[in-house]
Structures are given as C-alpha cells and as structure tokens.
Amino acid sequence: MKEIFHLPAHKISKLLHKREISVEGLVKSVLERIEEKEKEIRAFITIEREKILEEARELDKRFSKREELPRWAGIPIAIKDNICTQGMLTTCGSKILSNFYPPYDATVIRKIKKEGLLIIGKTNMDEFAMGSSTENSYFGPTHNPWDLRRVPGGSSGGSAAAVISGETILSLGSDTGGSIRQPASFCGVVGLKPTYGSVSRYGLVAFASSLDQIGPITKDVLDAYFLFHIIKGRDSQDSTSLPQTSLEENLKGEVKGTKIGLPKEYFTPGVDKEVKRWVEESFKVFQTLGAELIEISLPHTEFAVAAYYIIAPSEASSNLARYDGVHYGYRTVSPREKGEENPVVEMYEKTRQEGFGEEVKRRIMLGTYALSAGYFEAYYLKAQKVRTLIKRDFEEAFQTCEVILTPVSPTPPFLIGEKIKDPLKMYLSDIFTIPVNLAGLPAVSIPCGFTEEGLPIGLQLIGRPLEEVKLLQVAFAFQEATDFHKRRPL
C-alpha cells in the first residue's frame, strides 16, 4: 500500500485489525517517510527508531495470536517534547533540559500506552512552549511542510508538521495561548484544545499552569475525536482536572439548526485578506448545511493579549524557577569568578543565563516584574479581573449561540525570521486564540482553505465548557462537506 503514512488513524486501524497490513509495515512506512522528509522539516527532537520497531513486532505477534487488542493498538504517535515520557529524553526545546530523562510518565502517556499506541518520537517546539513559530527552539526551527521557507506555527510546530508530512499518524501538542490551534492552522491539520481540566496536566512541563492544556493534533476530525477520548478524564494527580463524562458516540456531522456565533471583534481590518475570504467561505458551507449564523459580540477581546502577557509570564516565572542546575538538567560549566561571594547564587545565575533562550528570559523577567511587591495589584490582579470579564463575554455569547466561529490566526504561515526580532508582532499572531485559554474553553482548528500560494488556512470553532463532542460534531460536518483535510504537501 502506497503512502499509508498519509492516512488517518481511524482508517489505518481497520487495516491493522483486518491484518491487511502489519504494525511493523506501518511503522517502517512512517520511519521511511521520516528518513525522506526529516532533513528538511526537522519536526523531531528525538526519534525512537529501534524502540518503536521492537514494539511493533511485539504487537504483530499478539495480533497473529488473535489477541483482543485496543482499537488503536499499533498506531504511531508523536509527542510534543514538553510531555514527560519515562526514560525518553524530554527537553522542552531547551538547553536547560537538554539532558533530562524523566523518571515517570505523564498521565496522557500512560493512557496512550494502555491503548497500545506507539511513541515514535518527541517533537520540536518553542522553548518551554513560548512562541508562535517553533523558532525559539534550542534545537533549531522546524520548517513548514507546505513551504520550507515558512514557519509551521508554534509552539507545537513539530507535532503539526510531523502529522501533515506523514512523519507520524497522530500527535499530541499543548496549548497555552494557541499553541495547538495556530500550528494546526499553519500546517493544514486538525488541532483540538480541550476545556481546561478535560485532560490531565500531570507530566506536562508547566508553562502557565492556569492556561496549559494537552490536546490532539491529527489529520482529520475523527482522529482528533478518538484521541481526545483516549486522553480525557479526571486524574487524581491533577487537582485542576475535571470529570469529562462525554461518551464516545458516532460523529454524525449534523448541524441543522445549530446556532453559530460570529464575534464582530474577530473580523477586523487587521485580518489578512485571504484568511478573511476563506473563513467567510465557511459561513456559506455552514449555511448550506442548515446552520444558523448570528453576529455576536465579545466586547473585551482587545484586552485579552495584554492580560495574557501578564498572567502567563507571571506563572511561568515561578514554574521555571526550578531549573537552577541543582537537581537535574543543565548546570553551568563556566569557571567560578573571583569576587563572587556566594557560589550557589553564581551557579544559579550562570546556569539560567546559559540554559534559557532569549524569549524565555524575556517572559521570566516580565512575570517576575508583574509579581513584584508594589506592582502585583496593578498588573497581576488587574489582569485577573480582565480574565473574568473575558470569561463573562463568552458566557453571555453562549446564551445565544452554541458554537463560535473565528479565524485561528490573522495571517497565513509567515516566513522564518519574519517576526522573530519583533516579539510584539509575534505575540499578536495569537490574538484570536488567547481569549479561549483565558476563558478555559474548548476550541478546534480545522483547515478551511488555501492561499493562492498554496498555504493552509484554518478556522476556529469555540465551544461551551466540556462540550467537546458538540464542538467536534460541528467541525465534522464542515469537514465532510469540504476536502481541505485531504490535501497533503509534496
């Protein structure tokens, strides 16, 4: 079978269970694709070639003994490198964790292993998930498979690029301000950021604890739906996790009568023309399917980015304090300087100076400042108030609609180097995804068009808390009426 690596998991799993293909054959096909593409895309930090082949052969034995195996046993999955995998390098795209092998598995990893999914490797990302282009990685940038001169988005750029290029079948990313949805949009794949608390964060290396959420990045909506059901659920090791009781049912893609809200604040002149055009095209698709489109307002949208860049760095400044060279990770090797009276403080300073990249240091400083005595009220507490207002905006909007439709990113994928020297410009590329994290809502990015240059464009659907199923029903309806999700880069 040709190009099996381009198929979604739900199709491959049928072939595996019917024994039309072997797990080893599948894994080899994906590994060969990696051989072919990885040099130019650089989606991975770690690739577990031998390990996954061994696991594949083991599974084939069990298949041939006609053992009852989980539906997705044998499907390769790539994991963003900020999710802890026991005994497998987990770097967060940082020099400071470039030698870190976690002694434990994240809850999501335990869950996917139980389902027989095979980890093919760990994907590249902006350092500690801080960035929107995967350029902030200690291991170098990942390239967009649709146009190698461009960024794949970020911070889960490696995961999204690996899925669309066929270097993996499935992947997991994490989303703090758009880090699943924006790269999904830039790479033309499906990315789901679940409701805050839907998926356990235990083992996800924290960036901003009150915003972080793990989610699937997949080739289509069905895969995202099934993978979500594998990883969701309350976890006794994560006190912020919620009982996610939604049952797995068949997606029907029915949207007749569904009220879809279009927030006027998201369709502004700042949005790229082609993005605007394709997102507006989607209105027609939904109308044809019988959905009802209504204009809504989310009046505090304009304050979201500012609030986010107080709250996220504040939490990050504390979350990243543990990387000090004392217990694990990188420790400075620079010689001690004369006159420095406290050798421990000197080690802290040099380790962090050498171990963290520019963007991470910038955000640690922002957060440290915002939490400092005398500024805490004016920055952190104020930002929390804004966050409450944004949450209320959505609550009110959801009185009149069930799902909200917006662009994912104001622009198509930009060029590598284009925004890296201008942090503010980079921050604004998350303007439509950040409010969702502040409100803790579920949202999905699905492909909705291509620019004239052939670059993918995504649309964002935002749902009510814990209504991932409803959200994916709407996404599935759109997908089944279009064929953007079937396109693949060369």
User: Min. distance of Cβ 236 from another protein in angstroms?
Assistant: 7
Query: Among 165, 179, 241, 445, which one carries the catalytic annotation?
Result: 179
In 3-state terms, what secondary structure has residue 42?
coil
Q: Determine the Cα angle at 416 with ends 323 and 275, to 5°.
A: 110
Interaction between residue 402 and another protein (CB under 8 A): no
Distances in Å between the alpha carbon of 264 and those of 177, 285, 300, 302, 351?
Answer: 20, 19, 12, 12, 47
155 is catalytic: yes
For residues 41 and 84, which CB has a smaller minimum distance to another protein in the complex?
Answer: 84
Tell me: does residue 202 bind another protein (CB under 8 A). yes
> Strand 403-407 to strand 259-263: parallel, antiparallel, or no bridges (unpaired)?
parallel
H runs (alpha helix) in 178-303: 181-187, 221-231, 273-288
Give me the residues paired with residue 119 across strands: 77
Among the listed residues 75, 97, 119, 279, the single contact to another protein using CB under 8 A = 97
CB atoms within 10 A of CB 264: 13
The helix/strand/coil state of 312 is helix
Q: Judged by CB under 8 A, which stretch of 163-171, 369-377, 437-445, 477-485 contacts another protein?
A: 369-377
> Does 104 engage in binding with another protein (CB under 8 A)?
yes
**Alpha-carbon distances of 451 from 143, 221, 274, 484, rounded to whole Å:** 18, 22, 6, 12
312 contacts another protein (rule: CB under 8 A): no
Segment contacting another protein by CB under 8 A, of 204-212, 278-286, 394-402, 480-488: 204-212
98 touching another protein, by CB under 8 A: no
Q: Which is nearer to another protein, 107 or 411 (CB)?
A: 107
Quote the crossing angle between the two packed helices 49-64 and 23-41, to the nearest 10°: 160
Residue 380 interacts with another protein (CB under 8 A): yes or no: yes
Contact 93, 173 (CB under 8 A): no
How far apart CA 295 and CA 50 sit, in angstroms, is 53
- Among 170, 160, 166, residue whose Cα is nearest residue 226: 170
Exposed/middle/buried for residue 343 (C-beta within 10 Å: 0-12, 13-18, 19+): exposed
In the complex with another protein, the residue whose CB is nearer, 165 or 314, is 314
Please state the length of the chain: 490
Number of residues that bind another protein (CB under 8 A): 45
CB of 436 to another protein, least distance (A): 17
What is the rounded distance in angstroms from the CA atom of residue 480 to the CA atom of residue 225? 14
Is 80 among the residues known to form the active site? Answer: yes
Q: Is 321 in the site for another protein (CB under 8 A)?
A: yes
- With binding defined as CB under 8 A, does residue 245 bind another protein? no
Among 98, 240, 297, 482, binds another protein (CB under 8 A): 240
The Cα 316–Cα 51 span in angstroms is 34
Cβ-based nearer residue to another protein, 55 or 324: 324
201 contacts another protein (rule: CB under 8 A): yes
Strand partners, 415: 150
Residue whose CB is less far from another protein, 37 or 350: 350
**SS3 of residue 472 by DSSP:** helix
Please report, for the chain, how many H helices and E strands are present, in that order.
Answer: 15, 11
Among 31, 160, 170, 205, binds another protein (CB under 8 A): 205
Decide if 179 is catalytic: yes
Choose one: 41-49, 275-283, 296-304, 313-321; the region binding another protein (CB under 8 A): 313-321
265 binds another protein, rule: CB under 8 A: no
Binding-site member from 246, 297, 318, 482 for another protein (CB under 8 A) = 318
Q: Which residue in 11, 14, 469 sits closest to 220, CA to CA? A: 11
- Using rule CB under 8 A, residue 90 touches another protein: yes
Write out the two tokens for 142: 């990942």
Who's near 466: CB < 8 A, 6+ residues apart? 195, 198, 242, 244, 246, 442
Tell me the C-alpha distance between 462 and 468, whole Å. Answer: 9
* Between 210 and 246, CB nearer to another protein: 210
**Least distance in Å: CB of 375 to another protein?**
10
Q: Contact between 126 and another protein (CB under 8 A)?
A: no
Q: Which of 127, 135, 167, 315 binds another protein (CB under 8 A)?
A: 315
332 contacts another protein (rule: CB under 8 A): no
If binding is defined by CB under 8 A, does position 192 make contact with another protein? no
Residues with a catalytic annotation lie at: 80, 155, 179
* Site residues (vs another protein, CB under 8 A): 82-84, 90, 92, 97, 100, 102-104, 106, 201-206, 208-210, 236-240, 314-315, 317-318, 321-324, 326-328, 344-345, 348, 368, 371-373, 376, 380
